[in-house]
Structure 1
């Protein structure tokens, strides 16, 4: 098919030296156009650039609406609301002037329709949402004395957020929004109030619980007045080899009783097979290749024993172990009803079409219940993520150990120059900074896991360099609300990412909130 590329860029005044492509080389960024970008109170105008690369002007229409016209009257465009996107780069702006009658956060919706081909009625519709912060007495002020404010009030000259619309005849290529660009590594770019700029797939959230509850599912008493009863209790490590040997001896099975049927996952040295035990029980078998080092063999056994004795429906505890061949030991796990890795399941195209919001809440609740059990026994998991969970055909989810995960999911782990591969994008701030792992750090990771389930296992903070994670978390930035995620569910996730460990909910509280929310949403289905 002939390709008719078209392009126009979208810029927010406070972005500097940043660029983002929404559709590039025919590839669409999957972060949706539903994220709401805040516009600070001191920003009265946002600027856009656009340009048609189709070799001819492209017809457009623009419509703007506000959720509270009394606080924020309808914004004013300095171009016509219908016309043609020029073939030369052009900048236009939208004026957002609050009335000042009362403080509010007003949602502004900008709808742009671009006609790529009149003959085939090929029209691309793009909707952008901004949240304008209005303050009492916040009216237009043309006398700006602060040079920093004067700088932000000038039309941007370069580095605006850009949008590429790739048009293919007979197929409308719908763009997706990644919102604010990931700033390059180096000194933090700050606005006139000294605050860091927004970034692409995440947003700045409250890092302390608000004084009033955001929804009926989380109350201020639930979040604020309870803390982690065993906050400083660390996960039991295998510092004594005798303990590990004792556990292996209790779980030893004969290798001849294990039959491998199919290879499910393969890494550099790790392998996961589907098989049977005693010719009747379906199992998952974790093992290593013959070229694996003794360190890798020891890690498989040590991490495979980490949930030893955890008797709970929501926990995948080890069933048996075989060390007859010391170079390639087997670790067995029960696997009824086609049990498989949760992350790989979520990434299947059929999953996104079949799994509902109710089922997502149900799965999250199952894992929260399992972690209530785990923490009640003083065990901290330290690596909660979809890659370390399994799911069966009935969408029953179990929490598993992290054995082989670094090898099977190398993109989820990073080394920050300390020779230790860690799940940087899942770590709480204190775990990232000081390698402190507690029940509260598990809660943080659980919030990221919920985000994974809602996005069907997208990579969290995909645009952020692992070396920058501590900086961004310290400045209050968190993952953005996923597309089609109910506000109540996002509130639950956001509380998991409170800056202080003592301000995060416990899993008992999370399970109660998720259970209540599940009850509420099932009433209407």
Structure 2
């Protein structure tokens, strides 16, 4: 049986006592096949006790297992406290008495957390257990954050001694405060929302100039959606409409080739090249740019992909998003895609490889300073902020990964498009017989098997990106054949916890890889947790 443990175990006065969550309970809450010990052989797991475990709205009870390892039962007292009464949660109750003795055989006891159904809120609950050894006593405090939704009945099924079952776990903030109401009206409002969104996009396009318009799905190659948790399918535009819209976008983006100067090759693939260069505007002011283009032997399909993927983020303005600056197209020449650039910026995957000591592009200089856990969490928050902005603009990225991010000298991360990524990072893309190179090992299960993309699929890929940050760009599932990845994920296997990754951070990744899209956390929920975790880390530095 695999054990889920945290980093710090401190001796205590409990003597021989175990307090833990069974593998079935851990699977139900976290989606992991493991046991989580709070006290093991009399040692307190401080990190585990400090970790606030979220309890989704679909789970109404918690289960703990304990055992006295002495020859006699140990006296205990037990109570639960709601930290702030919001009217969303009834008083927690236990299925055992508040005072008694810890048995000498393993026993599972239950805490009921019934929501009132009248208020939607996140309720902090602390379950306190005091165990006496005769000469002294020790207090254990288990922290939980219960999610309660309005007008949602309490689940009727209770699992007191749940056997292990490979079903998707109800994990990490699986509901938001208003999700129930949104889902109830989504079907009725879908058509109206789509019409309103199209109207708003047209109005915004008319009001803004050529450098600040909101792209639509024909150019950005990403589906729009009307509900954050339940995306609504939108009919794909006809090929002639798509071509016409792409031509219109390119016309708005077009800049003169004579204003672009190429200096040096930054990256090169089989048919794609990335140059460093400069761009002079109409007032002759020069700025550093990065230029993406294709070689002379590139096919028309590759040119079309470059243009479609390159303008995916055009018109989006955010400090954590790198969008295309302009396009230069002239007869008989390959198109140029220009991006704003600074000397200290690097591709995030190449930067992580350099941190690992891997030479990139003949660069034999010293590697960057080692990344700390604080650095990794802060960089993950930057990527999260960028992705949140994209979703707020109704853009699904579909290819979140380190190779499609930029990092500067201050470790600030920006999300970029995936233009030329298949050519520049060929080991990250695979074709499964469908004549389409895809980032197989970054895709959510439903995106891999059914090509269903949603905000939750981007969340899955964000979890893989966090894994890349902690491993310094190791290849995910390196031992798994691309043709076997879907079966591997379907059987419940996931990426392993990196050796230097704190359990709290790996738990976040595991939440992102839940089998069901509805069980994955939303981006605001991830932001709250990572910011709190980053604050905890900085307190000890």
Match for 1:512 among 504, 507, 528?
A: 528
Count of aligned positions: 338
Give the SS at the match of 1:358.
helix
Matched, 1:288 2:304: no
Between the aligned partners of 1:220 and 1:288, the Cα distance in structure 2 is: 43
Deviation (angstroms), 1:234: 6.2
Residue 136 of structure 1, aligned match among 102, 106, 112:
106
1:298 aligns with 2:298: no
Measured against aligned partners, the alpha-carbon deviations of 1:64-97 in whole angstroms (never above 9, x if no partner) come to xxx83479xxxxxxxxxxxxxxxxxxxxxxxxxx
TM-score by length of 2: 0.57
**CA distance change for structure 1 residues 507 and 220 in 2, over 3 Å: closer, same or farther?**
closer
Residue 345 (structure 2) pairs with residue 339 (structure 1):
yes
Deviations 1:92-114 (A, max 9, x none): xxxxxxxx9479xxxxxxxxxxx
Cα 1:102/1:304, change in 2 over 3 Å: farther
Deviation for aligned residue 1:247:
1.4
1:484 is aligned, of 493, 500, 524, to: 500
Q: TM-score, normalised by structure 1?
A: 0.59
Aligned to 1:261: 263
Which structure's residues are more often helix, by fraction?
2
- 2-side partners of 1:268 and 1:235: how far apart? 35
Which residue in 2 is equivalent to 1:399? 415
The residue matched to 1:312 in structure 2 has which SS? coil
In the alignment, the residues of structure 1 paired with residue 68 and residue 292 of structure 2 have an alpha-carbon distance, to the nearest angstrom, of 61
Aligned-residue offset at 1:354: 2.4
Unaligned runs of 5+ in 2: 8-21, 24-38, 44-65, 70-104, 109-162, 184-226, 358-365
Look up the match of 2:380.
Answer: 364
Displacement of 1:340 in angstroms is 1.9
For residue 40 of structure 2, what is the aligned residue in structure 1?
68
SS in structure 2 at match of 1:477: coil
Deviation at 1:445, TM superposition (A): 0.5
- Structure 1 residues 308, 220: CA separation in 2 closer, same or farther (over 3 Å shift)? closer
Counterparts of 1:275 and 1:234, CA distance in 2: 41
How many angstroms does 1:242 deviate by?
Answer: 1.6
Correspondence list, 1:142-181, <5 A:
none
Alignment of 1:229 onto 2:231: no
The 2-side partners of 1:427 and 1:479 are apart by 13
- 3-state SS of paired residue (1:478): coil
Say which structure, 1 or 2, has more relative contact order (CA 8 Å, 6+ apart): 1
- Map of 1:83-102 to 2, 5 A cutoff? 101=67
Equivalent position to 1:380, from 396, 405, 408? 396
Contact 1:259 1:277 in 2 (8 A): yes
The offset of 1:522, in angstroms, is: 1.6
CA contact (8 A) 2:263 2:276 kept: yes
After TM superposition, the structure 1 = structure 2 runs for residues 365-514 of structure 1, keeping only pairs within 5 Å, are: 365-514=381-530
Q: Counterparts of 1:243 and 1:102 in 2: how far apart (Å)?
A: 71
1:297/1:327 contact within 8 Å kept: no
Structure 1 segments unaligned to the other structure (5+ residues): 1-11, 15-33, 35-39, 42-66, 72-99, 104-134, 139-193, 197-203, 211-217
Residue of structure 2 in register with 1:241 after alignment: 243
1:280-327 Cα offsets, whole Å, 9 max, x none, are 211111001111111111110111011111111111100011011454
